Amino acid sequence: MPGVLSPEDIARLDVFHAMIAEQSKVFAGYPVTANFDYHDLFRFLDYPLNNIGDPFDPCTYHLHTRTFEREVLDWFAALHAAPEDDWWGYVTNGGTEGNLYGLYLARELYPNGMVYFSQDTHYSVSKNLRLLRMPHIMIKSRPTGEMDLEDLEESIRIHRDVPPIIFANIGTTMREGVDDIPAIQGILKNLAIPQSYIHADAALCGMTLPFIDGSPEFNFSTGIHSMSISGHKLIGSPVPCGVVLALKEHVDRIARSIEYVGTLDTTITGSRNAITPLILWHAIRSQGVEGFRAIVAECLACAEYAVEQLNAIGVAAWRNPYAITVVLPKPTAVVLDKWQLAVEEDIAHIMVMPHVDRDRIDRIVADIAANPV
């Protein structure tokens, strides 16, 4: 029989819940959505669900959500122009795993390849490269966050004897800079590079740019080979999650058949979260493309409102085109702590996610005005 918590333990949880509820009201510095409701899915927490192995391959473990996972993957594949019958993917535990997977595929394809990534790349990528023992070169970033293409071209030129593996940011961590995939392809063509691999880290912008007219192109039609997108960012989830998509021909190279579970081993982990595919499926089915388009449009409008309001009080705030990240000079410690704002050297940012509305922006601006640097 299941155990029962003591009254003291229940009271402790009640206090913790109240604290979390209060902190969520002043949460604006990280790219995580706080607006969601998945009560329809609570009943599935009563079962040991596990999406072990390949989502497209049969499995002897029947308590899984693979059907829902495949529908989620189909939706993302269509959103990002994955080539019909030549793509594969799975629901990950977040962007770091998706990026690790893309780099893993690249290493297996080009064991002697050189990885190029910008100085604005997420901190976890350096860790992934160490784990995979892949040689790499950090490329300079422009002030707006995207990769300096002149530095990239010169670096590839120097090492043109080995295949370049480009780790492209589709929305950098602090400034939401977007690396120019068509321009990178142009560099590879100009240098007559015969073999290359491009992975796109679209953790945030994989769920914003597809819904913005005229936004930068970065999907599979531009020639990328794999892509990672976060689910807990723009979509929203109570637990971290994401999606990785890749060309199937590269995944087939690393697939192994595992008799114990009666399925292919094609993912990073063995056992995988089976609740997160339900969460993403729920969001996709309830919002749809037009729902997400409206959500992104409102985030953009609120981001522009935040820039205007901050500029009005003399704060030099700005944002990149198509971005929902508002960059500003680092405020005081009081403001940083209250609103949980992320910092990097002399800047901070406000992430205008769906829960960061105009009222919340007004309160942040008022606190910054009341606590001048």
pLDDT of residue 188: 98
Phi, psi of 306 (to 5 degrees): -65, -45
Contact partners, residue 271, CB within 8 Å, separation at least 6: 50, 51, 52
- The rounded distance, in Å, linking the Cα atoms of 349 and 171 is 13
Strand partners, 199: 167, 226
- Predicted confidence band at 254 (pLDDT cuts at 50, 70, 90)? confident
- Predicted confidence band at 257 (pLDDT cuts at 50, 70, 90)? low
Using the predicted structure, report yes or no on whether residue 202 has a pLDDT greater than 90: yes
Nearest C-alpha neighbor of 118 from the set 89, 152, 160, 69: 152
CB of 171 closer than 8 Å to CB of 215: no
Structural domains of the chain in order of their starting residue, each with its CATH number = 7-37+289-368 (3.90.1150.10), 43-284 (3.40.640.10)
pLDDT of residue 260: 60
Q: What is the DSSP string of 257-322?
A: EETTTTEEE-SSSSS--SHHHHHHHHHHHHHHHHHHHHHHHHHHHHHHHHHHHHHHTT---B--TT
**Per-residue pLDDT tens digits for 18-44:** 999 999 999 999 999 999 999 999 999
Using the predicted structure, report yes or no on whether residue 282 has a pLDDT greater than 90: yes
Contact partners, residue 280, CB within 8 Å, separation at least 6: 72, 91, 231, 235, 237, 241, 243
**Per-residue pLDDT tens digits for 72-104:** 999 999 999 999 999 999 999 999 999 999 999
CB of 291 closer than 8 Å to CB of 75: no
The interaxial angle of helices 149-158 and 181-190, nearest 10 deg, is 30
- Where helices occur in the chain by DSSP H, the ranges are 7-23, 66-79, 95-109, 123-132, 149-158, 181-190, 248-251, 275-312, 333-339, 358-370
Tell me what the mean pLDDT of segment 291-308 comes to: 98
Tokens found for residue 354? 């769906």
- The rounded distance, in Å, linking the Cα atoms of 52 and 260 is 11
Tell me what the mean pLDDT of segment 122-128 comes to: 94
Chain position carrying tokens 């990950």: 92
Q: What is the mean pLDDT of the chain?
A: 96
pLDDT of residue 95: 95
Which has more confidence, 220 or 256? 220
- Predicted confidence band at 255 (pLDDT cuts at 50, 70, 90)? confident
- Helix, strand, coil in percent for the chain, rounding step 5: 45, 15, 40
The amino acid present at 149, given as its one-letter code, is: L
pLDDT of residue 56: 93
pLDDT of residue 1: 64
CB of 167 closer than 8 Å to CB of 100: no
Strand partners, 341: 29
